[in-house]
Amino acid sequence: MKYEENILKYLVDTYRKSKKDSGDNKTNRRTQVKPEKLYKKYNANEGDFEEISRLNQAVNDLTEKGFTYSTTETFGTQIQSIYLVDEKIRDVEKYLSDKYGYVTKDMQIEQLQLLVERYKNASPICEKESALLLKCIANRKIPKNYEQLNDVFKAISFIENNQTNLYIREVSMKVYGDSKFFEDVTMQQVCALLRKYSDRPIGENELIDEILVDYHIYKEPQKLCIKGNVVITISGKDVDISGFSEGIEIMASDLGKVQSLKICASKFMTIENRTSFLRYKDDDTVTLYLGGYANRYQREFLKMIHGTNPDTNYMHFGDIDAGGFWIHHNLCEITGIDFAMFCMSSDELKNKEYESCLHGLTENDIARLKELKEMDLYAYTVNYMLENNVKLEQEIISLNLMNRNLIV
């Protein structure tokens, strides 16, 4: 065991994380480490004598070098605590760096400064994160994800400037030269930053990486699923899809070829979950599978549909929970279309047919619902949910609606 290295690294890291490092300390507490931190059986009866001797020898050697000093038991030889000679902090760091390749705090700060210079103008998020890093540097604070920062900035700068449709592994190859590095190492941190600055919190049943779609990056080809009495004009040809009982899928890459969609029904409805999209059928309603928050292609598709069919009644059918209402709110905001809510009221929550399928609210649910209740559109239903601790997924509603033949 490298007791010398472990002792010095522990003491140096403790010193650099303390207020001594910035000179803000009001009391001069000694920087110390207990021997049992280094060998947990140091004071135990079953402790290995040879191991204890090696630790004691390492402490003696470091004391001779002038790096540490220690205290022992009043009536014994066991070490009570090992202390750093604070005045030797830079000498200790140099010793660690030269002998063990240790990266000192000053080195880390220098690397952070280089990182800021490299990425401060690379993209909008890089610029904002660089400003935060400058504050860390000024306060001699090292971010917890320090070792991944360069790789994170590298991906962010590429993604924000990307205008080409790419798959995730293609992005990984372009950024890192490794097809799996992005997914395995940095994707979670990168997506968290993308959401942070785009004000897109993760919705229920939504994956953090789904935001990559907004930047033309996909796990698989994007498809637009539509069903009902519709005539699509694509590449100058009219295609009637009403004969496809389960609807059709349009590849996002073909969206530019679509000139118009004629809705031959009085209603158009977006549906949050796939099972409900597959289950729900109504000759007078055209449906589109949403799958959560509307992505860029769905947004443009919906705007085109509304532009061609302004007099159609637009509705949205989703879960009766915080996520479902936020998806509806986002849908109306980003499309400019006033979607009415379908079967998303307290009536469904009160319905005895659905009683066995009700779920209680989580702490996260409650926090998000409290924000929603400030909006008049959701206030009544949300207050009922909060008062009765209930929420409901839409799949049981779509199943019951079709089983009861309420939709003809």
- DSSP letter string over 220-246? S--EEEEESSEEEEETTEEEE-TT-TT
Q: Which of 147-156, 197-206, 249-258 bottoms out in mean pLDDT, i.e. has the lowest?
A: 197-206
The mean pLDDT value for 15-43 works out to 82
- Selected residue with higher pLDDT from 330 and 77: 330
Closest to 226 (Cα-Cα) out of 178, 164, 269? 269
340 token code pair: 């009415």
pLDDT value, residue 256: 86
Percentage, residues of the chain above pLDDT 70: 96
pLDDT of residue 407 exceeding 50: no
**Confidence category of residue 204, pLDDT binned at 50, 70, 90:** low
On whether the CB atoms of residues 252 and 219 are closer than 8 A, the answer is no
pLDDT tens-digit profile of 371-388? 999 999 999 999 999 999
**Which pLDDT band, with edges at 50, 70 and 90, does 171 fall under?**
very high
Strongest mean pLDDT among 11-25, 93-107, 258-272: 258-272
pTM: 0.55
Residue 42 pLDDT: 87
Q: What confidence score (pLDDT) does residue 408 get?
A: 40
Q: What is the dotted CATH code of the domain comprising 3-101? A: 1.10.10
Helices (H), 202-356: 274-279, 296-308, 322-335, 346-350
pLDDT at 404 over 80: no
**Is the per-residue pLDDT at 19 higher than 90?**
no
Euclidean distance between CA atoms 384 and 391, whole angstroms: 10
State the average pLDDT over residues 337-365: 94
Taking CA atoms, 161 is separated from 19, 215, 274, 294, 340, in Å, by 40, 8, 32, 21, 36
Residue 228 and residue 288: Cα distance in Å, rounded? 9
Q: What is the pLDDT of residue 206?
A: 66
Q: CATH class for domain 223-403? A: alpha beta
pLDDT tens digit sequence for 24-36 = 666 678 899 998 8
Asked if pLDDT for residue 126 goes beyond 60, the answer is: yes
Beta bridge partners of 160: none
Give the list of residues 6+ apart from residue 59 with CB closer than 8 angstroms, or none: 3, 7, 35, 68, 70, 79, 82
**357 phi and psi, to 5 degrees?**
-105, 0
What residue segments make up the domains of the chain, in order of their start? Answer: 3-101, 106-217, 223-403
- Only one residue has tokens 């905001």, namely 333
- How many whole angstroms separate alpha carbon 392 and alpha carbon 344? 9
Residue 232 has pLDDT above 90, yes or no: yes
Q: With 0-12 CB in 10 A as exposed, 13-18 as middle and 19+ as buried, what is 404?
A: exposed
Q: Using alpha carbons, list the distances in angstroms from residue 282 to 231, 279, 285, 396.
A: 16, 10, 5, 17
Residues 201, 192 contacting (CB under 8 angstroms): no
The half-sphere exposure of 383 on its side-chain side, counting CA atoms within 13 A, is 8
What residues are paired with 71 via a beta bridge?
Answer: 81
Question: Coil, strand, or helix at residue 78?
Answer: coil
Q: What pLDDT does 142 receive?
A: 85
Give the mean pLDDT of the chain.
89
Q: At what angle do helices 187-198 and 124-138 cross, to 10 degrees?
A: 100
Q: Average pLDDT of 35-40? A: 88
